[in-house]
A and B are shown apart, each in its own frame.
Chain A
Amino acid sequence: MLAIIIDDSRAMRLILRRIIAKIGFDAVEAGDGQAALDTIAELTEPPQLALVDWNMPVMNGLEFVTRARKDPRLRDMTLVMVTTESEQSQIVRALAAGAHEYVIKPFTEDSMIDKLALLGLTPTGANP
């Protein structure tokens, strides 16, 4: 299983990579939404999971989610916003744009794994 981690912080990408490795994901990384789209375009198969920060330079996470949702090739990719944007209105915007779940920073390893499990992303299987 492959995921893409989109965050302008290398430290945060590393933390997320460590966590999702525990449920069987390999990961590619990108520092902003546009870089993520470029990375995905080069893959033979799109990732099954995208963990997306909101506030990033070049292209923010909300725009990435909006564009990803319009791309038929990425129809089956699970989109999870991982961000400090914790206002209800922002969560609603992200979900309306097509995000499947929303994780607020700071998060613990357990809370992230629990959230992904709710989406069917567990060590024993991918998104049903």
Chain B
Amino acid sequence: MTNAIDPVIVAKDLRKKYGDITAVNGISFEVRPGEVFGMLGPNGAGKTTTVEILEGMRDADSGEAIINGINVKDDPTAVKAMIGVQLQQNAFFDNLKLSEIVDLYAKLYLAKVDPVEVLSRVGLDNRKNAKYAELSGGQKQRLSVAVALVNDPVVLFLDEPTTGLDPQARRQLWELVRKIQAGGATIVLTTHYMEEAEELCDRIAVVENGEIIALDTPDALIDQLLSTGFKPEKRVREANLDDVFLNLTGHDLRD
């Protein structure tokens, strides 16, 4: 398989310091095309900084970031043109309608899209004439994913996309991520939700203090833990509270 040899993202020994604090301390990994790559880690572990270096939004102190064969440092504009970005804190122009925001960002990428079609991918087509300021938190999050898709990206970076979403919206977003993956894009996802990582990610990097302390498929990581003789304290029940909540409130998306 050619896919196995040509990684779409290469991070080589990335390092970044903010003053005395080392945010990223020698992170290296490769992401294959079509993969959903998860980055897990506590707050301040360096996930976002790593992602931002890959996005070309921050310069690494040392190390190399290569996206689709292009060194991010050499040609950040070319890299930005072919990636989709969803930032942790998203802000758009408050007084623009959603369709206008999508149109604007499509123009910034010189892409021709139908705003309504893009909005319908995240289930916001019925809100196309609403202004950004009128949206709920979950809708804002979904809009930011829609905007990240305007240029039909090779690599999609999702930084904590489901933080602050209700279980319905989160499941809908998972569905969307799988759809995007099926469309051929590679996805880099950071999250705090383990079930999300387990559900979506093909491989997971666990980041701690700016270093990757584990990198494998979710199943392999669990197997490794079990092989050390680890036993969970409580037997996992067949359903969890998430299922209870969804059973009670339904799977329909709320606004």
Task: Tell whether A pairs with B.
Answer: no
